[in-house]
Chains A and B, each alone.
Chain A
Amino acid sequence: MSQIKLVSDRCAGCGECIAACPYNAVALENGLPVFSGACNLCGACVEACPSGAIERLAAAGKPAVDKASYRDIWVFAETRDGQPAKVVLQLLAAGRSLADQVGQQLCAVLIGDNPGGLAELLIAHGADRVLLAEHPALAACRDEPYTAVLARAVNQYRPSIILFGATAAGRSLAPRLAARLRTGLTADCTGLEIDPVSGDLLQTRPAFGGNIMAAIVTPNHRPQLATVRPGVFKPLQYDRSRQGEVTRLAVSNGLLAARTEVLGFTAAGGESVSLEDATVIVAGGRGLGSAENFELVKELASLLGGAVGASRAAVDEGWISYAHQVGQTGKTVSPRLFIACGISGAIQHLVGMQGSEVIVAINKNPDAPIFKVATYGLVGDAATILKELIAQLRSGS
């Protein structure tokens, strides 16, 4: 049997549900709302509640969701140092193509202290609309107030899909929001499509440690939430002629409660690893056999002015730090040239580098899966071939 249910430990006793109820079915008793027989399960209180304390359960235990009433694709426009995070422009490209496919709007949700100046940029990169929530207390991306602002906006506008970057911020915020909304979230997606039959979002991601790929769906709940791996989608060209509107979201004090406080930021010192921006990457794997041989990878990278990458195996061996790892549990890269040395090509690695323009594989096993993605292949001992390459590049011959 369907019912409206109070999750009392979350209720702040604010009384917004009483004001929202069209049937006068809600009253406060001991500071908590009580639902009378006049309730017809319309759900107005569920949407009005700023703390997500009221739920509507359907007969089958699943929230009663009218999928058709959820429209539009949202992108969480994470900001960093006053700019959209790189992944946001990638999400707008992915979202644009989904929105065009289903004939709906693409909205960027921009939250911060005073981020309104970025709205134009988001529109120029594909957004039809920017939902803007501004408040000094929203300066840092803190999960509690951001969840409250987003949950409020979701209940008001009912988007069908919300995309987050699979960044530290996105992967912290999205699960909190998914649990608040009692809906599904798919982590670290590398592919997004609309199922032409069901209209559901098909969310492809590496599974089982990246050994296999899975397509995940959220068939009976809305919105459908996904975090999307940075580096997978390419941003659209900046286009000033694109038109869009900016809508302000009301930010009431009730949404700003937070039990965390950001005190500061320390940039990582030492080696700078910008794999995502490199045009050339030389990466090494277990086939190099030793930390000493891995130095050859660094040498070649430095000769080519490129960055150093590694497979999980090489990182696990301790030959290089995790910051260099490419693959499912590392970074996704798409340089012009990727040279894989002694990397066999487990799926978990391939998902992180298959978007590279030209892939050179150096491996002693001619049947290694890395050759399936390679533009050029060199079969032989990786260390020996690396030494050859370095010698020839040095001699200029």
Chain B
Amino acid sequence: MQIVVCIKQVPDTAEVKIDRKTNTLIREGVPSIINPFDLHAVEEALLLRERCGGAVTALSMGPPQVEAALREALSLGVDQAVLLSDRAFAGADTLATSYTLAAGIRKIGAFDLILCGKQAIDGDTAQVGPEIAEWLDVPHLTYVSGIDEMILAEPARITVSRLVEGGYEQVRSSLPSLLTVVRELNEPRLPSFRASLRARTQAITVWGAADLDVDPERLGIDGSPTGVSRVFVPEYDRQGQIFAGGPEDQARALVDLLRSTRLI
């Protein structure tokens, strides 16, 4: 089976701090990583390939340095990597990003399954996966926590569990289809020595706008309906009461107060 995994290179947002004087993000020295949810998508693609045969293509969009993320995917064992990189793609919101990725997937060729992480940790939108599915006119299933059944004989279909409020929904989709996956799905592997060696010299395909069958007006910032109007650090100032004394005194003051105000 042919599987495409979409990955995003993201700053490790857990390492991002705010400069409280200028109210801006301190990005310097923040390492770039593969979006953690996408690693679960890569892992599932590799597991499915081991079970069903076929090939896995890792796909990303971004500036040239995203090659590092794709090389990491190669070192995990994906068969080939494609980077969509062009100044025309810059400033894309989820609609323009999904449009461009969908065009990249069309160019890669026939596919049975597209896997994405449920969302990226820098944007947290969870929109690009379903939007890709719409552009490609395939069904999509989000928040997939388990693949229960996969049948490649016609009619090809996949049955999954979705993590939804209060439990798990069992859903079946025809193939080809797009899934976005959550952490519970699997435990991502570490790079293998052999694959890492091979990944070092493996070629990464790079396509620009001219290589894709795209409407230039749908790319990048021009193709993005949404824009950021302003960015700010919220100001909180509740001017609360700080209790004095050691642990025992403070605890007593709090318990007394919560009791007298009937909060407990």
Contact = CB atoms under 8 A, between A and B. Distances in A.
Partners in one complex: yes
Interface in B238-261: 238, 240-243, 246-248, 250-252, 254-255, 257-258, 261
B186 interface: no
Contacts of A221: 225
Given A215-B228, A337-B264, A378 B254 contact: yes
A23 B227 CA distance: 37
Interface in A45-82: 57, 60-62, 80
Nearest to A279: B263
Contact of B25 (A208, A267, A351): A208
Contact of A57 (B14, B128, B217): B217
Given A182-B225, A202-B229, A212 B264 contact: no
Interface stretch (B76-84, B161-169, B187-195, B200-208): B161-169
Contacts of B104: none
Interface in B1-44: 13-14, 16-18, 25
A328 interface: yes
Interface stretch (A28-36, A97-105, A254-262): A254-262
A169 to B, nearest CB: 7
A217 B95 contact: no
A112 interface: no
Interface stretch (A129-137, A152-160, A244-252, A379-387): A379-387
B264 A211 contact: no
A361 B248 CA distance: 16
A179 B230 contact: no
B75 interface: no
A32 to B, nearest CB: 15
Interface residues of B, number: 85
Contacts of A280: 263-264
Given A379-B242, A388-B251, A209 B139 contact: no
A65 to B, nearest CB: 10
Contact of B165 (A9, A167, A184): A167
Interface in A194-211: 195, 202, 206-211
Contact of B126 (A80, A175, A372, A381): A175
Nearest to B184: A322
A183 B236 CA distance: 34
Interface in A214-268: 214-221, 258-268
A210 B125 CA distance: 12
A143 B38 CA distance: 22
A268 B163 CA distance: 9
B127 A178 contact: yes
Interface in B105-156: 121-131, 133-135, 137-143
Given A185-B127, A259-B139, A337-B258, A266 B170 contact: yes
A144 B127 contact: no
A389 interface: yes
A388 B126 contact: no
Nearest to B138: A259
B241 A377 contact: yes
A360 interface: yes
B94 interface: yes
A316 interface: yes
Given A347-B18, A377-B242, A381-B247, A389 B229 contact: no
A389 B16 CA distance: 34
Nearest to B10: A209
Interface string B223-235: 1111111111110
B222 A385 contact: no
Given A209-B121, A373-B236, A388 B247 contact: yes
Interface of B: 13-14, 16-18, 25, 93-95, 98, 121-131, 133-135, 137-143, 159, 161-174, 177, 183, 215-218, 222-234, 236-238, 240-243, 246-248, 250-252, 254-255, 257-258, 261, 263-264
Interface of A: 9-10, 57, 60-62, 80, 85, 143-144, 147, 167-169, 171-172, 174-176, 178-180, 182-188, 195, 202, 206-221, 258-268, 280, 304, 312, 316, 322, 328-329, 336-337, 347, 350-351, 354, 358-361, 366, 369, 371-381, 384-385, 387-389, 391-393
23 contacts: A62-B222, A169-B164, A175-B127, A175-B134, A176-B134, A178-B95, A178-B127, A180-B134, A184-B95, A185-B125, A187-B127, A208-B25, A213-B231, A329-B121, A347-B234, A372-B237, A372-B238, A373-B236, A376-B243, A377-B243, A385-B250, A388-B248, A392-B255
Q: Can you list the 4 inter-chain pairs with the closest CB atoms, starting with the nearest?
A: A61-B217, A209-B13, A184-B225, A388-B251
